[in-house]
Amino acid sequence: MVLLAFHRLHLQLRVFSTTLLDGIFLAKPKLTYFHTQTDLYSKPITFSLSSSEHNSVIQRVCSLVYESYSNQENTHFKSTLPKLELPLDSELLTPEQCITVVASLADEAGSIAALSFFHWAIRYPKFRHFMRLYIVSSMCLMRNGNFDRAHEVIHCMVKNFGEIGMLKEAVDMVFEMRNQGLVFSARTLNCIVSVAAETGCIEIAENVFDEMCERGLYPDSFCFESMVVAYCKLGRAVDADRWVSAMLERGFIVDNATCTLIMSVLCQKGFVNRAFWIFNRLIELGLTPNLINFTCLINGLSKRGSVKQAFELLEEMVGKGWKPNVFTHTALIDGLCKKGWTEKAFRLFLKLVRSDSYKPNVHTYTVMITGYCKEEKLNRAEMLLSRMLEQGLVPNAQTYTSLIDGYCKVGNFTRAYELMEVMKKDDLLLSISTYNSVIDGLCKKGEAREAYKLLKKGLETGLSADLVTYTILISDCCKHADNRLAFALWCKMVKFGINPDIHTYTTLIAAQCRQKRMKESEKLFDDAIKLGLVPTKETFTSMISGYCRDKNISSAMKFFQSMGEYGCAPDCVTYGALVSGLCKESMLDEARKHYDTMMDKGISPCEVTRLTIAYEFCKKEEPSTAIALLDRLDKRLWTRTVDTLIRKLCSEKKVDMAALFFHKLLDKCQIVDKITLTAFMTACYDSQNYALVSNVNKRITKDNLCSSVLHFHSSD
C-alpha cells in the first residue's frame, strides 16, 4: 500500500498542490468544537462513511485536539509542541481522514496544532509509513509560512521510511518537494546523510553530501561523524580515513567513543601509523583522550609488533594521569608474545598477578598461553592452564585452540585430541578454527589422509569449512605439486560462496611460480587485482622469484618497482630473489645496486644472498668487490659468509682466491672453524700449493691463534 501510494504521488506531485491539496481545503468542514470527549464514540466509525459522516468524524477529531490544548498552559501551547494524549482509537481513522485533519488544523488552529496531531498519528504504523501524510503535512505548514516545522516533518519522513528500507523513496520525494517550494536547509540534508549512514545506505549519503556541497550548504560535525561511523562499521578503513581527514580539515572533532572506533578499524586493517597520526591530531584539536582510547592504540601497536612504541605511549598515558588496567596490560603482553619475547611478557604477567587492583582475566591467560605455544614451550602453557583452573577461571574455546595448535605443531596429536575431548566435555564449541589447527598440523606432518578424515567428522557435526580450511588444503596440494586437486578445491570453495582472499591467491601464485608457469601466475595476480584484493609482500616476492627462475628479469623488475603502489616494502627475501636472479643473468652491477640499497635500508641479507653475490664477483675475478660487499656485514654474519665462501671456492679449486679470504678470516677471528680450515688445507695439498700451507702455518704460529688450529697442523 505504501509503495503504491508513493508511486502515485511521485507521478502527480506537481499538480498535487493545486488540485488535491486545494481540494482538501475546499472540502474540509468548518470546525465546530465539541466539549465532550465521548462524542466521538457515540457512533461507530467505519471505512464506508458518507460525506456527512466523514465530515463529522473530522470535526470530532479536531475538537478533541483543540480540547487537549485547552487543558494545557497557554504559554506551552504557543511556545512548545505539546504531546497529545487523545482518547481516540487510531483504528477509527483512515489515513485519508488523518490527512484531512492535519490540513484542517493547519488552516484554522495553526501549525503547532497540526504538527502535534501529526506526531500523535505517526506513533501508529498505518500512519507512520503513509507517504502522503508527510507530504500534505509539510505543504500545509509551508502554506502557513512555517518552513522550519515543514522541515521537521521531512526529517520524520526520512527517519521513519529509513527504518523500513525505503530511504531511497523518501529521499527522492524530498528532492521532488523542492519543486513545490521546499528550500533545502543544511539541517535537512544533514539529517538525510546521517540516516543514510546509519542504515548503511552509503551511496545515498555520498550523493546527498555532494548535493549539499554543490548548493553551498555546510555539513555539520554530526554529518561527518555519521559517515565515519558508517564506513567503520563496514570495515572500510580507507573510506573512513577519507572522511576523518575531511572532518579534521574543517576543525571538527569526534567524541571518545568514535575515536576508539576509528582507531580500532584502522589498526585492524594495518594502518597503525595513520591511526596514531589521527589520534594526535584530535588531541591538538581539543579531544581529551581517555583510558580506552590509549588502550585501543596500544593494542594496535602491539599487534603490529611495534612494542617499543606501545610502551612509549603507555608512559605518555600514565603521564596524563591514567592508570593502565588489565586490558592495557593484556595488549602489551600480547605484543611481547608476538615478538617472541615471552620471558618479558611473563614478567609483565606476574606484575598483574601480584597487583591488588587488577588480576589477569581469561583473555590475559589465553594470550600468554598462545605465546608459549608458538615457541613450543608447552610445559609452561600447561602450567598456566592449571593456574587458571586454580583461580576459578574457565578456559574458553580460544584457550584450548591455542594449546591444540601448539601440540599439533610439535606433532603431539594424542594430546591435541585429548584437549578436543575436554572441550566437548565442558560444552565448549569445537569451531572450525579448532579443526583447522589440527588439519594444518596433520598436513604439515604429511598426514593429509588423516586431515581429510578429521574434516569429514567436523562437517558431520554441522560445521562448514571456511576460507582458512580451504587455504590449508590448497597449500598442501600445492606443496605436492598437485595443481589439479588444488584448483578443484578452489572451485568448490567459490561454489559454496567463500571468496578467496589474497593469501589464498598467493598460495596458488607461489605454486605456479615454482613450476615456472608464469602465464597462469599472471592471470591469478590480475584476477586478484580485479576483485579489489591488495597483493602482499609475499605475493610480489613469489612473482619476482618466478620470473627470475624463468630468466625474465625485465618482468621481475617491473613487479619489484610496482610494490610501492600497493604499500608493500620488499624484505630480505624479496631482495634476495631479485639479487640472485640478476646474478644468474650476470647483471652484477644492477645486483650490487640493489644489495647496497637493501643494506642502506637496514635490511640484513640472508646467507644465500650474501654468498651468491660475493661468489659471482669472485667468479668474475673481482674479489675486492666481494670483500667490499661483505665488509658491510656485522662480524657474526661476515664470519659465517666468509667460511662458506672459502669452502665453495676450495671446491671449485680457486685456491688462491680462497687464500685471500682465509687470511681476511685470520685477521678478524682468533678461532677458525675446523671444517673451513680442513677444506682450505685439503685444497692446498690437492693443488700442490705447499707455499700456501706454509704461509698459513707461519701465520698461525706467529699470531698464536687458537690451540685447536695449531693441533690440526701438528697432527698433519
Q: What does the mean pLDDT of the chain come to? A: 83
How many whole angstroms separate alpha carbon 638 and alpha carbon 209?
A: 61
Residue 84: the pLDDT is 65
Residue 701: the pLDDT is 67
Domain residue extents for the chain: 1-183, 465-554
pLDDT, tens digit, 9 for 90 and up, residues 633-673: 888 889 999 999 989 998 988 888 888 888 888 888 767 78
Number of neighbours of residue 397 by Cβ within 10 angstroms: 16
Q: How confident is the model at residue 23 (pLDDT cuts 50, 70, 90)?
A: very low
Which residues, including other chains, have CB under 8 Å from residue 352's CB and lie 6 or more apart? 326, 329, 358, 359, 360, 364
CA dihedral 496, 500, 505, 507 (to 10 degrees): -70
Give me the mean pLDDT over the 395-420 stretch. 94
Residue 49: the pLDDT is 39
**Sign of torsion, CA 68 73 79 81?**
negative
Joined grid coordinates for residue 557: 623488475
Least confident of 72-76, 200-204, 238-242, 521-525: 72-76
How many whole angstroms separate alpha carbon 520 and alpha carbon 541?
A: 16
b/e 626-658 (16+ beta carbons within 10 angstroms → b):
bbebbeebeeebbbebbbbbbbbbbeeebbebb
pLDDT: is 21 or 667 the higher one?
Answer: 667
b/e 678-705 (16+ beta carbons within 10 angstroms → b):
ebbbebbeeeeeeebbeebbeebeeeeb
Residue 181: the pLDDT is 80
pLDDT at residue 315 tops 50: yes
Joined grid coordinates for residue 146: 512555517
DSSP class of residue 16? I
Residue 70: the pLDDT is 59
Q: How confident is the model at residue 333 (pLDDT cuts 50, 70, 90)?
A: very high
Residue 71: the pLDDT is 61
How many whole angstroms separate alpha carbon 518 and alpha carbon 524?
A: 10
Residues of the chain with pLDDT > 70, as a percent, come to 86
DSSP 282-345: HHHTT----HHHHHHHHHHHHHHT-HHHHHHHHHHHHHTTPPP-HHHHHHHHHHHHHTT-HHHH
Give me the mean pLDDT over the 251-262 stretch. 89
Which residues, including other chains, have CB under 8 Å from residue 680's CB and lie 6 or more apart? 646, 647, 650, 658, 659, 662, 696
How many whole angstroms separate alpha carbon 209 and alpha carbon 222?
A: 13
Residue 54: the pLDDT is 55
pLDDT: is 270 or 322 the higher one?
Answer: 322
How many whole angstroms separate alpha carbon 419 and alpha carbon 430?
A: 11
Q: How confident is the model at residue 72 (pLDDT cuts 50, 70, 90)?
A: low
How many whole angstroms separate alpha carbon 267 and alpha carbon 35?
A: 66
Q: What DSSP element (H or E) covers 110?
A: none
Measure CA 443 to chain center. 29
Residue 239: the pLDDT is 87
How many whole angstroms separate alpha carbon 312 and alpha carbon 316?
A: 6
Least confident of 266-275, 459-468, 555-564: 266-275
Please report how many Cα atoms fall inside a 13 Å half-sphere around the Cα of residue 615, on the Cβ side. 23
Residue 69: the pLDDT is 60
pLDDT, tens digit, 9 for 90 and up, residues 362-388: 999 999 999 999 999 999 999 999 999
How many whole angstroms separate alpha carbon 156 and alpha carbon 456?
A: 53
Please report how many Cα atoms fall inside a 13 Å half-sphere around the Cα of residue 217, on the Cβ side. 19
Residue 704: the pLDDT is 52
pLDDT at residue 339 tops 80: yes
Three-state SS string across 323-335, please?
Answer: CCCHHHHHHHHHH
Give me the mean pLDDT over the 89-102 stretch. 82
In CATH, what number does 465-554 get?
A: 1.25.40.10
Residue 713: the pLDDT is 40
pLDDT: is 710 or 639 the higher one?
Answer: 639
On whether the CB atoms of residues 115 and 147 are closer than 8 A, the answer is: no
Give me the mean pLDDT over the 306-330 stretch. 91
On whether the CB atoms of residues 65 and 112 are closer than 8 A, the answer is: no
pLDDT, tens digit, 9 for 90 and up, residues 544-557: 999 999 999 999 99
How many whole angstroms separate alpha carbon 474 and alpha carbon 477?
A: 5
How many whole angstroms separate alpha carbon 680 and alpha carbon 683?
A: 5
pLDDT at residue 26 tops 60: no
Which residues, including other chains, have CB under 8 Å from residue 379's CB and lie 6 or more apart? none
pLDDT, tens digit, 9 for 90 and up, residues 216-246: 777 778 778 888 888 888 888 888 888 888 8
pLDDT at residue 11 tops 50: no
